[in-house]
A and B are shown apart, each in its own frame.
Chain A
Amino acid sequence: MSGPRRPTDPSGLERYYVLTGGRSGPGGSSSSLDVATLITSRAAAVPGLQHEHEEILRRCRDPLSVAELGAHLGLPFNILAVLLADLLDAGRVEARHPIPASGAGRGPDLALLEEVLSGLERL
């Protein structure tokens, strides 16, 4: 049996803030992250990395979305965003944001829509 939970933290979230040194995103590099942003490791894990950072590098050898990473690691988006910002700032991962609906007031790219359409038609 574990001890009674502190009433001030019924969800156990304080634990997560230990991982981020008390920071909760979004801010800085993490503010542009989207749930559909693809993360790819640019470097292998090196000794001395925080466990969660190491885990992210290991899971992102092939591109993986922020949402999938969060689901696999069991981390909420705002906490994961902070951890990813550390790795982005250190150049250890690369982020590719989802292709936006429209750039600078234009409608979505027709070629992109064609590509999506033909993919869906083949399902």
Chain B
Amino acid sequence: MDLKGFDHPDRYSADGTLPAGARSVKVMIAGGFGTGKTTMVRSVSDIKPLTTEETLTQASADVDNLIGVADKQETTVSLDFGKIGINDQLVLYLFGTPGQERFWFLWNGLFKGALGAVVLVDTRRLASSFRAIEEMERQNVPFVIALNVFPDSKDHPVEEIRDALDISPHTPIVACDARDRASSRDVLIALIRHLKERSAVALESR
């Protein structure tokens, strides 16, 4: 059990409250169903992960009609999230995207205000994360690929996976164990380093 705030007195106070004037940043944890998104949020968060919900309203009409239910029925989709105190003025929120990718449009710019994203991939079922990768590329969200190593995962050379996922050579691919706090933290570090490199390149090219 980590008692954040006790062992990190420079981070937010022991009860998790933020000082006035605190700022936030957010990182999205995406990936196919069952790739370990919630597991990663849980392992690295300072707080017990929470769930926030959104309801499908008017936009649901067509979808709902397709499955033959009443017009007024509304679907609830949930978003698991956690947070990490970066320092006494800055907090990082981690949001695990909902399993049903077709609902991602629901949140006001779910990815818009994000620094970037981690796309979790289960190497036994690569295709389950195709949709998440496409969505990051379409929305122009910088990301890293994290191969969540399950006990029966085979050892695949990274370049083989890069080819199979059709990922640009500039996008980092790292292996991780989403259940492990240090390993999940290292994935986030890989993402931030990638963002730094991208912005350094952007500055040079101006």
- Residues on B with beta carbons closer than 8 Å to the beta carbon of A77: 52-54, 107
In the assembly, what is the distance between CA of A43 and CA of B144, in Å?
Answer: 42
A40 adjacent to B192 (CB under 8 Å): no
Checking B108, B114, B142 against A32 with a beta-carbon cut-off of 8 angstroms, the contacting residue is B108
B25 CB-CB contact with A under 8 Å: yes
> Pick the contact of A100 from B76, B113, B188, B199 — CB < 8 Å?
B113
Q: When the two chains form their complex, are residues A78 and B57 in contact, meaning their CB atoms are under 8 A apart?
A: yes
Residue with the highest number of chain B CB atoms closer than 10 Å, among A7, A112, A120 = A120
- Does more than half of chain B's interface fall in helix, strand or loop, or is it mixed? mixed
Stretch from A46-54, A65-73, A83-91 forming part of the interface with B = A65-73
Q: How far is the CA of A122 from the CA of B189 in the complex (A)?
A: 11
**B116 in the interface (beta carbon within 8 A):** yes
Q: Which residues of B contact A16 (CB under 8 A)?
A: 55
Which listed residue, B26, B72, B86, B203, touches A9 by the CB 8 Å rule? B72
Say whether A104 faces chain B, with CB atoms less than 8 Å apart. no
Neighbouring B residues of A36 by C-beta, 8 Å: 24-26, 93, 95, 113
Q: Is the CB of A98 within 8 A of B25?
A: yes
Contact call B113/A113, Cβ cutoff below 8 A: no
A11 to B53, CA, bound (A): 13
Stretch at the interface among B12-20, B153-161, B172-180: B12-20
Stretch of B30-38, B77-85, B126-134, B163-171 contacting A (4+ beta carbons < 8 Å): B77-85
* A121 proximity list for chain B (CB < 8 A): 189
Q: In the complex, which residues of chain B have a beta carbon less than 8 angstroms from the beta carbon of A11?
A: 55, 73-74, 76
CB atoms of B53 and A115 under 8 A apart: no
**Size bracket, chain B contacts:** 35 or more
Bitwise interface map of B from 100 to 124 toward A, beta carbon under 8 Å scored 1, else 0: 0000000111101111100000000
The 7 closest A-B pairs by CB, nearest first: A107-B199, A119-B86, A71-B50, A62-B17, A36-B26, A107-B202, A70-B52
Q: Can you pick out 30 interface pairs between chain A and chain B where the beta carbons lie within 8 Å of each other? A: A8-B70, A8-B73, A9-B73, A11-B76, A13-B74, A16-B55, A24-B57, A31-B108, A34-B109, A35-B26, A35-B79, A38-B24, A63-B20, A65-B93, A67-B81, A68-B83, A71-B51, A76-B53, A76-B54, A76-B76, A78-B55, A79-B55, A96-B22, A96-B23, A98-B25, A101-B114, A107-B203, A113-B192, A116-B25, A119-B84
Give residues in B with beta carbon < 8 Å to A.
Answer: 8, 11, 17-26, 44, 50-55, 57-58, 70, 72-74, 76, 79, 81, 83-87, 90-93, 95, 107-110, 112-116, 141-142, 181-182, 185, 188-189, 192-193, 195-196, 198-200, 202-203
